[in-house]
Amino acid sequence: MAIKRQEELRGIDQENYTRLLKQIEGKFHSYPSDGTRDEKWEFYSDLDDSYRQPWLVDGILDWLWHPNLILTGQFGEYVVERIEELGIKKDYLLFNGRLREGVKPIILKENHEVRNFWKDGFVPTWLLLDDSYYSGRTRLILETYMRKHRDYPITNTVVVYNGCPRWHPQVNALYSWYMVHGLDLDGDFKVRREW
């Protein structure tokens, strides 16, 4: 298989991206608000599966300038596959999934190719790239882990889907439910389904 070079990436295709946004909204509207815990997990799992697409992940990797990525779960595993297949120079730490459910964070895989570009004494910062952001629990768990075990801070978070009704200055999303639908993040907090 020929390896695609980073220069050949063209960013996120607008038509496919628009199709993905409609798919996200369709899943959200079709889900019963009074569902059981298993149904909720299935909904989020289904939604997260829809993000593991080469055109989307390749476009995000092409757009991201940050050389140090923190990744989690199945989405993170897929991002690592794309980084390796495309030969992109990025340091990464791949953690296990289900952190927000109380699973202890474990580094499954790491890459330090780019580290030699940093000058002595420079503490690199890390960017969390994840498929979704809801309560911020995953980010908080990983921030705590990085400060305790690596002494490297997470300075920003980029996600495909942001379903959190509270704005965070260091969280950027390709699609944010509350921003797209014009809800007042403070006044309309109760509009969100309490799952």
> In which order are the strands placed within the sheet that holds 126-133?
107-111, 91-95, 68-72, 126-133, 154-162, 171-176
Predicted confidence (pLDDT) per residue in 81-102, tens digit:
999 999 988 899 999 998 988 9
- In terms of Cβ atoms closer than 10 Å to its own Cβ (0-12, 13-18, 19+), residue 22 is exposed
Give how many domains the chain has, as a whole number: 1
Query: What's the farthest any 2 CA atoms get from each other in the chain?
Result: 54
Per the structure, the complete domain to which residue 159 belongs is given by 13-191
Which CATH number does the domain housing residue 30 bear? 3.40.50
Q: Which residue has the higher pLDDT, 160 or 20?
A: 160
Does 2 reside within a domain?
Answer: no
Q: Is the residue at 4 inside a domain?
A: no
| Residue 88 belongs to some domain of the structure | yes
Residue 7 lies in a domain: no
For residue 74, tell me if it sits in a domain. yes
pLDDT of residue 145: 95
Q: Provide the H-helix boundaries in 31-97.
A: 37-49, 54-63, 73-86
> Would you say residue 78 lies in a domain?
yes
Q: What is the mean pLDDT of residues 36-56?
A: 72
Task: Answer yes or no: is 79 within a domain.
Answer: yes
Q: Is residue 132 part of a domain?
A: yes
169 has pLDDT over 60: yes
More confident position, 121 or 195: 121
| Parallel/antiparallel/unpaired status of strands 91-95 and 107-111 | antiparallel
